[in-house]
Amino acid sequence: MSVYIREPVVQGMFYPAKRDSLTKMVSTFLLNAKPKVQKEKELLGLIVPHAGYVYSGGCAAHAYKLIKGQRFDTVIVIGPSHYTMLDGSSVWAKGEYVTSLGSVNIDEEAASYLLDKGPDIEFYQVAHMQEHSVEVQIPFLQYVLKSKFELVPIIIGNPSYDYTSRLADTIYSLIKGNHKKYLIVASTDLSHYHNDQVAKRMDRSVIELVKTMNKEELDRSIKTGTGEACGMGSILTLLFLAEKFGTRSIDILNITNSGEVSGDKERVVGYMSAAVYRS
């Protein structure tokens, strides 16, 4: 088997391993999702959670329903690195990503551009091998985008304000004026393992800063611990990109936490989904 085929590692844990079960779960989430749609605006990106589907799938569906049946040539999925130390980020540069719904080809031209032009971007396969933050987005994308799309998976190890600004510059130079239609997916969960009351307070503060695109305060909030988001690098990169495309605010689609499903209100993980439109 090619070393450039990234096999699924969290199916059967984060989402069903069997195709029929996965399809049924995703379709049910999408059926129940009622997101606010702005048909007059062009979608630039989505912010979505990356926990197990039973906990966060319903939240993610509010974002993915916006693109159901649409056509995108390339989807750039940006997720945090939970397991590997990286000075910058790693892009899976060739081959394909596989789930129980099939395989998705890598946009090798786009990946090559990022490797050549980007700040501290490398093709470091180890960073992807156990990472779930990108993988869990793929089945949703496969289900809602019936047309063929290509993928650029990016794992961020350096979520700093300066680094994500430079990464956004590179992605912007790739997609601005390009004949291809791109979608950016920022993968993140919010607060981790606080009780429901504390979690909701922390999450509300982060979500308000995301909504108003207050990047400086958002970065400060995470650094000081008043807010939490494991995918802060993903969010900041998308917000920097949105700013370049004239976006003034973010549409928050859904807010929830794991306790709403599990019933355990003492140790919850927070989730949000949001839509980012070009001006």
Secondary-structure class of domain 5-151+163-184+203-277 per CATH: alpha beta
pLDDT at 75 > cutoff 90: yes
What per-residue confidence (pLDDT) applies to 38?
86
Read off the pLDDT of residues 111-137 as tens digits, 9 standing for 90 and up: 999 999 999 999 999 999 999 999 999
Query: Domain ranges in the chain?
Result: 5-151+163-184+203-277
Residue 200 banded pLDDT, cuts 50, 70, 90: very high
Burial of 93 (0-12, 13-18, 19+ CB in 10 A): buried
Read off the pLDDT of residues 227-240 as tens digits, 9 standing for 90 and up: 999 999 999 999 99
pLDDT at 1 > cutoff 60: no
- DSSP at 106: B
Residue 142 banded pLDDT, cuts 50, 70, 90: very high
Provide the token pair at 126.
Answer: 């180890």
